[in-house]
Amino acid sequence: MMAKAPRVAIIGGGVIGGGWAARFLLNGSDVAVFDPDPEAKRKINEVIANARRALPAIYDKPLPAEGKLTFCDSLEEAVSDADYVQESVPERLDLKHKIHAAISEAAPAEAVIGSSTSGFKPSELNEKGARALVAHPFNPVYLLPLVELVGDADACAKAADLLRAVGMYPLTVKKEIDAHIADRLLEAIWRESLWLVKDGVASTEDIDEAIRMGFGLRFAQMGLFETYRIAGGEAGMKHFMAQFGPALSWPWTKLMDVPEFNDELVDLIAGQSDDQSGAHSIRELERMRDDNLVGILRALKVSDSGAGRVVANHEAGLAVSGEKEGLPVTLDRQVPPSWTDYNGHMNETFYLEAGSKATDGFMELIGADSAYIAGGLSYFTVESHVCYLDEVHEGDRLSATSQLLSGKGKKMHLFHRLYRGDGTLAATVETLLLHMDLKARRSCPPEGEVARKLADFEAAHAGHPADGAGRFVGERPGDR
């Protein structure tokens, strides 16, 4: 059973604060927000709406029931009973001193207090008596798992536990330094990019294409050093360093020099950016970004690589459970954008995939799980029949029940019912599988616990109606 979700206070409701609110809220925490901006409620609710669409799409299990969102009239009200406080106000040290003094005074003594600062060190944040640590995330906070932690070791450890529980990857920085780790790397690329635009070598679009068509795709799964290790071939990193190390002394970049940051440069960059992306609103761009990130994260999850491993580990702690009409629920998830077609309907292919996921869920119930498969035994699908009964759309909650029609001998005959979140029966998927010895590549009957559980389910489901099972192609309910 998952631990009770922490009570969270968000101080500052901009892009980052809204992302933090969404990350915690969608993972079951009650979230209290304070931001004096009269538009804060609208802005945060828009960010949360995007998160509701995107974050569950990464997972094949349901996230916890959403927490309660409260907008508070004062900072003191927001933090008064918080287990975790996240400050995301503008990057002005005098403002952060003022805010953290108020947080430290009003928050419970045991509360963890994090700052989203991208540049200030904990010693700077706390030089007037506050007790904050740096918890620096990346936008969108509700999708990207990295959060850099800097500060007191015990506080960072406690924060890391809280943040892992909401699917993040806490990276504890070994010693405090201006701008931490990731932003120092980004700053180097940013500085060089400004020069490339100013000197007329490339446009803003050229630079973005160079990143997203090339090394950006590699970095998503392997980062910098592992990518360069591969570049060294069979001889590895040592060869790469010997081959390309001398280039560090060549005048390729201007990392220690910055173009004059004047109105002319700002207008040049802004104008090119408008030409590149101005046809889309910010919300449209955010959704495009979110859809791309969902696809990348899901691909990385399949290969158990990079941030995909973080998603997989978080998903392992989520649960699909319960019954519907006396049958076990074996699938419960949100329909991602990638499952829909030009009509906005779930594509026919993914009804079958949903049935396949339900089969996986039933296999776990009988003990034919990943450990069982690793031991050399599994079930292979022989035949499936899908009957489409109603439309399913992007963002719908989709669940499935599984009925065991027969589990005797080598065969497992399942009948899945797929339901929309409103309870409408959307489809049925009938599947016949054979139990296999993966080493011998031959069918064989299951034994032990799997065989016993199959017998129990077959007995339990024997009296349950199976309307639609055994249907031939084109037959509709009521034809018989």
Nearest Cα neighbor of 350 from 364, 361, 336, 370 is 336
Question: Given CA atoms 291, 297, 298, 299 in this order, what sign does their dihedral have?
Answer: positive
CA atoms within 13 A on the CB side of 150: 26
Helix (H, G, I), strand (E, B) or coil at 377: strand
Residue 465: cis peptide before it, omega within 30 degrees of 0: no
> Please, what are the domains in the chain?
8-180 (3.40.50.720), 183-279 (1.10.1040.10), 323-461 (3.10.129.10)
Cα gap 246→240, rounded to integer Å = 11
Phi and psi at residue 135, to the nearest 5°: -130, 85
Torsion over CA of 309, 315, 316 and 317, rounded to 10 degrees? 130
Nearest Cα neighbor of 171 from 156, 192, 186, 152 is 156
Cα gap 435→437, rounded to integer Å = 7
pLDDT of the residue at 146: 97
Q: What is the 3-state secondary structure (H, E, C) of 71-109?
A: ECCCHHHHHCCCCEEEECCCCCHHHHHHHHHHHHHHCCC
Torsion over CA of 393, 398, 403 and 404, rounded to 10 degrees? 90
Full-model pTM: 0.86
> Do residues 124 and 151 lie in contact, with contact meaning Cβ atoms separated by under 8 Å?
no
Whole-number CA gyration radius for the chain? 26
Give the neighbor-by-neighbor strand order of the sheet with 69-71. Answer: 69-71, 31-34, 8-11, 84-87, 112-115, 133-137, 146-150, 169-172
pLDDT of the residue at 1: 41
- Mean pLDDT, consecutive 10-residue stretches, the chain (480 aa), reads 82 96 98 96 96 94 96 98 97 96 97 96 96 96 97 97 97 95 92 94 95 88 84 82 76 79 88 90 89 91 89 91 94 92 91 97 95 95 95 95 96 97 96 96 94 96 91 68
Helix (H, G, I), strand (E, B) or coil at 129: coil
What contacts 430, CB < 8 A, 6 or more positions away? Answer: 384, 385, 413, 414, 415, 416, 468, 469, 470, 471
